[in-house]
Amino acid sequence: MKKLLSIAVLLLCVVHVSAGNDRPQFGERPKLVVGIVVDQMRWDYLSRYYDKFGEGGFRRLITQGYSFDNCLINYLPTVTAIGHTSAYTGTTPAFHGICGNNFYIDGRETYCTSDQSVDPVGSDNRKAGCMSPINLLSTTIGDQLRLHTDFKSKVIGVSYKDRAAILPAGHSATAAYWLDTKNRQFITSTYYMKELPRWAKDYNKQLAKNEEFKQVGKDVGLYPLTGHITTDMAIAALKGEQLGQGEETDMLCVSYSQTDVIGHKWGTRGEHTDEAYLELDKDLARLFAALDEQVGRGNYLAFLTADHAAAHNYKFMQDNKLAGGQWLSDDVKEKLEKYVAQKLGNSKPVLSGLIDYRFFLDHQAIAQQGLELQRVKDVVIEFLRQYPNIAFVVDFEKAATAPVPQFLRERIICGYNFHRSGDIIVCVEPGYYEYAGWSSPVGTTHGEWNPYDAHIPLLFYGWKVPHGASPKEVHITDIAPTVCLLLHIQQPNACIGESLQF
């Protein structure tokens, strides 16, 4: 009996040692880190399309990787630029400063990556090419990797959208490439380089010959073809820059944006969305096959997540006897200005803009008219609390004591940057969303705290990642510290997330 017990103990020790050997040793790193962000991807798409996925794409991540099935966005609003930034910085707008796709800085509306101090490279289109991470206040995973290796690591971002290539790659990135849809070419800016590398020029030549791409024109984002092109460019960068072939770990940040454009146009249901995800599955399979060939299976660490999810189309919800509707921001602005003028007697507007459920007051105009800022805020809040389909109205500066649920209060505070986030935020009732010109009547949008906007996929795969899943609540801000821990490098300098255990 004692002999049997000894054998059992020995076997347990062997299993323990074996499991321990699968964990990264101190200083041991993969050859390459690959971050993948799918724009507007709901978590439940993984199960919705699972039976239709092939073996090499999403299903490979699910069956061979590790899935955190309850990953939530822990700030407001839930929009593209913020999501991409938060995943790679491990923090929120309060610290990284990217407070939306557009936001106000010093009273001036600003696009998140606009930088007029740089010039386009690969195009003469200044509107498309004058871009950089100038407005990003914190470092990213890639920045920390570059710092740790004395800038020997290569970090490259690739996407259809400029912000989805630039913000993940960070300040010190080797390069970021995005699509100039007017000239149908991948471009960059002088922030990174003076001239496109030969491999990028060669790929652009191939792209120029693509007859299907020529026919797509301005609506390129509506078609899965954009995903194919993004994948091709990522593979071209992988091979052209010899990523994963050097002495130090490299990083490739790939963001798929066509899914967001399709969602805004066609919603979360129907043949267009179905096609988008099944084609994306094939693109992922091609990307992983190229990584296997170039870097070697098991030699790279990959993660896949989303920048935000999306609500179901409100008409679809109503047709199925479920709550939902439009919240018309233009109507709100017009009525709000009239209400404030009646209450305070001002002759000039007090509102600079309304972006992503946030009201930006014109502080200069308010002061010039001899009005007290807090009094204006109080009147605006008074009006909004009477407006249909608004659940909560919060003065950002008083958010810590606002009469709203604690979890929501925390998300509002995490999304608030004093210099950039505006003055007042509203949360609409479940199923309602802001209707804007870029969302069609049969499409959808995002931006709120609700699970349909904030519950996103998070899968890790490859180097030292076991197979499994966890129902534990985790957050988008946990991605960066997890990757940095696996690489044994310092977290980004404003990171608030917690490293996840597989």
Count of other CB atoms within 10 angstroms of residue 200? 24
Active site annotation includes 268: no
Tokens of 114: 């606009």
Element (H, E) at 254: strand 250-256
Count of other CB atoms within 10 angstroms of residue 293? 12
What is the number of helices (H) and of strands (E) in the chain?
Answer: 20, 19
Q: b/e string for 104-119 if b means 16 or more Cβ within 10 A?
A: beeeeebbbbbbeebe
Picking from 50, 76, 120, the residue whose alpha carbon sits closest to that of residue 417 is 76
Tokens of 378: 């109080």
Q: What is the distance between the alpha carbons of residues 340 and 333, in angstroms, rounded to a whole number?
A: 11
Angle at 25 between CA 24 and CA 28, to 5 degrees: 80
Cα–Cα distances (Å) from 436 to 6, 20, 230, 330, 447, in that order, read 70, 52, 27, 9, 12
The structure tokens 């979360």 sit at 268
Q: Is 58 exposed, middle or buried (0-12, 13-18, 19+ CB in 10 A)?
A: buried
Q: What is the distance between the alpha carbons of residues 379 and 308, in angstroms, rounded to a whole number?
A: 32
Q: What is the distance between the alpha carbons of residues 39 and 61, in angstroms, rounded to a whole number?
A: 17
Catalytic residue among 78, 80, 92, 268: 80
Question: Which residues are designated catalytic?
Answer: 80
